[in-house]
Amino acid sequence: TIVNKYNSNCLKMLKVIEIENIKGIDNRKFSLNILPNRPSLLVAPNGFGKSSFAVAFKEMNTRRINLTEENFHKTNPALQPRIYIEYERPDLSLAQLEATATTNTICKEIDHFVINNPIRPKGVGNQFGRATARMEINDIVLVDRIPENVNFGNQYKLVQQRFGKNAKVLPSLSSFLSNLKIVQKLSENYQALEKANGMKIQSRINSIINEINDQNGTADILTDWITAYKLNDLKKIDFLNTLGNLINEFNLSCNLETKSYLVAIQLIWLYNNSPNKFKAACSYKNYQSDKNRFEQTLSNFNSTWKGIRARQIGGQLIVKFPEAIHISNGQRDILTFISMLFRARKHLKKEVSILIIDEVFDYLDDANLIAAQYYITTFIKDFKKEGKRLYPIILTHLNPIYFKNFAFNNQKVYFL
């Protein structure tokens, strides 16, 4: 039944996680067989070591495990930390990876990210001989480095000259390159843009352009002629058809497939004239798209008078929160969770990723719990759509029935 339901993914399991000498864990082996792209609940009572499990991954960087002093096991720095992982690669071979205080083979194959509570107490002095403190919410850095604002550049005259006599048939690129969704798709197809500039492909394109330049008439007449006599030839050209179909999906060309292919030809020339500049421009546009999407999501939950939003500060995109007393607990929890989930999406780039959510769900009210489940479910679907494997691990002390609803209807539970 599992094979039929999950197809090939069911065999590509995260089989074992073993942790040694990290915070409250001395040596524990978790034989889990976690399936990709579905919520996995690791249920255990308080004091079992869930937070130590999360700390192990949070303290692991790309080179090693770098424990802070408070996370040494038994406060003893001589006890060497270790994380060991077994998982099945796409070819179903078993990978055995580990990280220590000096080495890390895990991060060569697997990205990881930990979401936990960013609230901390801060001492503010003493009053009448008693120490006082307040709760603060740590700033959340969404983007570590905002890309440089690079434009694609106006090369329309150069394109016209290259096309020739009937360049008037070419649609302007401005409306296409200002569309953030199209730019996102183009940035996923740099290989097609590069390969479409090969000599054989350009020779076929130039042959069709020469035939277009032999015709007479207005731009509309020329477009109709191309549709009738040359569109099928254009659609048979490898990589050009990839880009033409991509553009045509957005219906920005008066529903004319022909114009999409004429735009694709220009994009190939524009990219190969300066690939680095084109990629830099895409990078900034993608940043704008991500920022807009996040701000819209944030505004859906942000009813506080404090006006919580993402701000560009020192070359970073940061969410700054007010003091905890100025925002409700439920709103604070869902806003911080969504912010951290956005950061996770920017961080998890490899084909295989582990996302650990440390007891964040345990303190959400019912409405915000459903909202959080919706966003993590969407997060999982995005990875699955891209053909990637995400292992979402949710650490909780609650009864798993509490999570069982429409959003997490395919959850898998592990009682530790």
Angle CA 72–76–82, to nearest 5 = 50
- The pLDDT of residue 406 is 66
Question: Bigger pLDDT: 210 or 327?
Answer: 210
Provide the whole-model pTM: 0.79
Of 69-78, 197-206, 266-275, 300-309, the poorest mean pLDDT is in: 300-309
- The pLDDT of residue 296 is 84
Rounded to an integer, what distance in angstroms lies between the CA atom of residue 264 and that of residue 374?
A: 37
- The pLDDT of residue 369 is 87
- The pLDDT of residue 7 is 43
- The pLDDT of residue 125 is 52
pLDDT at 5 over 60: no
- Quickly state the pLDDT bin for 329 (edges 50, 70, 90): confident
- Quickly state the pLDDT bin for 226 (edges 50, 70, 90): very high
- Quickly state the pLDDT bin for 86 (edges 50, 70, 90): very high
Residue 150 has which token pair?
């690079």
pLDDT at 356 over 80: yes
- The pLDDT of residue 55 is 96
Rounded to an integer, what distance in angstroms lies between the CA atom of residue 208 and that of residue 195?
A: 18
| Residue among 394, 387, 399, 409 at smallest CA distance from 9 | 387
HSE of 383, CA atoms in CB hemisphere, 13 A: 28
Of 75-89, 114-128, 350-364, the poorest mean pLDDT is in: 114-128
3-state SS assignment for residue 392: strand
Of 3-12, 87-96, 174-183, the poorest mean pLDDT is in: 3-12
Q: Span 86-110, mean pLDDT?
A: 94
**CB-neighbour burial class of residue 110 (10 A; exposed 0-12, middle 13-18, buried 19+):** buried
Task: Return mean pLDDT, the chain.
Answer: 88
Of 22-36, 232-246, 396-410, the poorest mean pLDDT is in: 396-410
pLDDT at 8 over 50: no
In order of 170, 214, 230, the CA distances from 218 in angstroms are 12, 13, 17
